[in-house]
Structure 1
């Protein structure tokens, strides 16, 4: 590794650079990810700088005192294989000391992540379909903004290893996005959000207690996108009902990640996870 290389916390304006690199990798980030991601942990984004030039990025976002999620691990192509990524990885992981860490890594890097103490929990698959779906009228499907935020947070906690209040608040309020919820018998039983990305739209999260609830929310979210626009759903392969939903709507797999954790995978109800929030922050 060359002299003159330093690793440090990103300045707020540098997060957008990492998002741009993610776009160049074909990860299709959301239009407002650079603004929403840092809300989760302003000190969780790191950059490797070689003689004044940023060459590598990583995020290790602390979702509370016990859990963190690693993402945006990118070394620009001209500087790969020279140790810059490894040094930044060590810097980022040190910031999460004492916490369990999760990540969504490309499958080809799974062996390398295992060397760092990560174990495969399941695979996530990105499916692509077309928007502009028709959604039947159903009084139980409501605008997510009408549901008390505290109620959404409590429901979300069942499907994520930590409380993520600040991040969720920013995520649900971002521009160019819309959320829907399933309210029945005075109780929240599912919710989802669709946001505009560099190409098309992504649905995430999509959490639901029952399969028919996920189906209705998926249709409602899809109906808010343009006809024939690309729409993406990142779902856990370990949930057969989520796979069935994607196939029922003629979606095709286009990308895959390995969801890995240090230590035993958190005990989340996989049967209710129809779409992860993001590959970068979990």
Structure 2
């Protein structure tokens, strides 16, 4: 079969579940129930490429309004690589996000390829691995007890744009937990932990100060004693790196955060944990 037989269409839920299995096979360690939240973010934002009806690869190109989009889950199955299908899928995805500033978290080895596609380096993210446990601190509350509009406003400040539909699903992950810190009626930060193929992952972890981040991290980690624990940290946030190291975590790999329209100026100093490398 040739490239003319390669058909690209929007993913159905079963297709996305398959793409997440591919991601697990690549060692990306996705969450156990990510598919529901991912599709909620943008139901048409996931594309699959098929060759003669057989799934060959996929990409996520989630649109957040008319100004921003995020690219991820870009995988071509090994047996279909080197035949031009990947670039066709890439081009279809980028066409869907045309006119937006597009972000991605790509493996460092692919930076040169992303630059050729118009992406500019912003900063590095590092995935830290440790072990859950410890004592839960005071000063945190269940995020469900915070009015959703406050959670959404806090999230938008740190993510850059609103993502309410996604957020409503994400903060209620099956088997997970979401905590917030409220001071003087203001939400100073929040964090979510969810079960993954291996252990648990915290993301996002947004906090106004290192002390708030410490409380949130400790509270979430205490809920999974003895379990492998992962946190994706912007390297440029020294306080976030210090938090991970203080809790005995070590970096296991890095990604490059890149944008087509330049760094949007997110308050990275308040980002102690990225939500997910797939969706931003």
Moved more, 171-180 or 239-248: 171-180
1:65-84, Cα deviation, whole Å (9 max, x unpaired): 11000000000011111111
Structure 2 CA distance, aligned partners of 1:255 and 1:228? 22
1:241-280 paired onto structure 2 within 5 Å: 241-280=239-278
SS of 1:189 mapped into structure 2:
strand
Structure 2 CA distance, aligned partners of 1:54 and 1:157? 35
Structure 2 CA distance, aligned partners of 1:13 and 1:270? 35
SS of 1:277 mapped into structure 2:
coil
SS of 2:171 mapped into structure 1:
helix
Alignment coverage as a number of residue pairs? 279
Match of 1:71 in 2: 72
Unaligned runs of 5+ in 2: none
1:55-94 paired onto structure 2 within 5 Å: 55-94=56-95
Structure 2 CA distance, aligned partners of 1:43 and 1:184? 38
Structure 1 CA distance, aligned partners of 2:3 and 2:97? 26
SS of 1:167 mapped into structure 2:
helix
Match of 1:237 in 2: 235
Deviation at 1:125, TM superposition (A): 0.4
Deviation at 1:174, TM superposition (A): 2.1
1:43-122 paired onto structure 2 within 5 Å: 43-122=44-123
Structure 1 CA distance, aligned partners of 2:153 and 2:216? 19
Deviation at 1:2, TM superposition (A): 3.6
SS of 1:188 mapped into structure 2:
strand
Give me the CA root mean square deviation.
0.9
Deviation at 1:115, TM superposition (A): 0.4
SS of 1:218 mapped into structure 2:
helix
1:62-118, Cα deviation, whole Å (9 max, x unpaired): 011110000000000111111111000000110111111000001111100000000
1:214 equivalent to 2:213? Answer yes
Structure 1 CA distance, aligned partners of 2:149 and 2:160? 17
Match of 1:202 in 2: 201
TM-score, with length taken from structure 2: 0.98
1:121-167, Cα deviation, whole Å (9 max, x unpaired): 0011000000122223x2x3100110001000001111112100000
Moved over 4 A (4+): none
TM-score, with length taken from structure 1: 0.97
1:161-186, Cα deviation, whole Å (9 max, x unpaired): 21000001110122111000001111
Determine if contact 2:5/2:51 at 8 Å carries over to the other structure: yes
Match of 2:164 in 1: 165
Structure 2 CA distance, aligned partners of 1:100 and 1:135? 39
SS of 2:36 mapped into structure 1:
helix
Structure 1 CA distance, aligned partners of 2:3 and 2:90? 17
Match of 1:154 in 2: 153
SS of 2:40 mapped into structure 1:
helix
Structure 1 CA distance, aligned partners of 2:246 and 2:41? 34
Structure 2 CA distance, aligned partners of 1:5 and 1:212? 52
Structure 2 CA distance, aligned partners of 1:211 and 1:279? 22
